[in-house]
Structure 1
Amino acid sequence: MWEHGGNVGAAARAPTVHTNTEYYRLDTIGSTIGADLRDARTLRELELAVMSRDLGALIMPRDAE
């Protein structure tokens, strides 16, 4: 969904997934991590956290620790 700027409708159309399925997935993940992934700011913060983690892995690979 990040590739579609948080637009659930666009994300649902891309892999031919129904919009309700995309919302269900967001709600399931959100309840697991305790966040409202329908909130644009929360979604963006999560995206930045994942990008930061990925960047950290590039800078300091786990094998080098």
Structure 2
Amino acid sequence: MSGTALVVGASGIIGNALAKRLLAEGWTVHGLARRSPAEPEGLRPVAADLLDPASLDAALAQ
């Protein structure tokens, strides 16, 4: 199965592991974090802070 996923907290331990798993299964993965994660390879970084609605609006508008 493949699709598109937005992993919130992609720079954390669980989010990073989930992103790697989804990428390995052929998913397109967008990783949301305050600072764009550098890995895993293939992750499409989305820089935003969940506590800042304006940054979320700007990041997810794309």
| TM-score, reference length from structure 1 | 0.29
Structure with more contact order per residue of length (Cα contacts < 8 Å, sep ≥ 6): 2
Higher strand proportion (structure 1 or 2) = 2
Larger radius of gyration: 1
Higher helix proportion (structure 1 or 2) = 1
| TM-score, reference length from structure 2 | 0.29
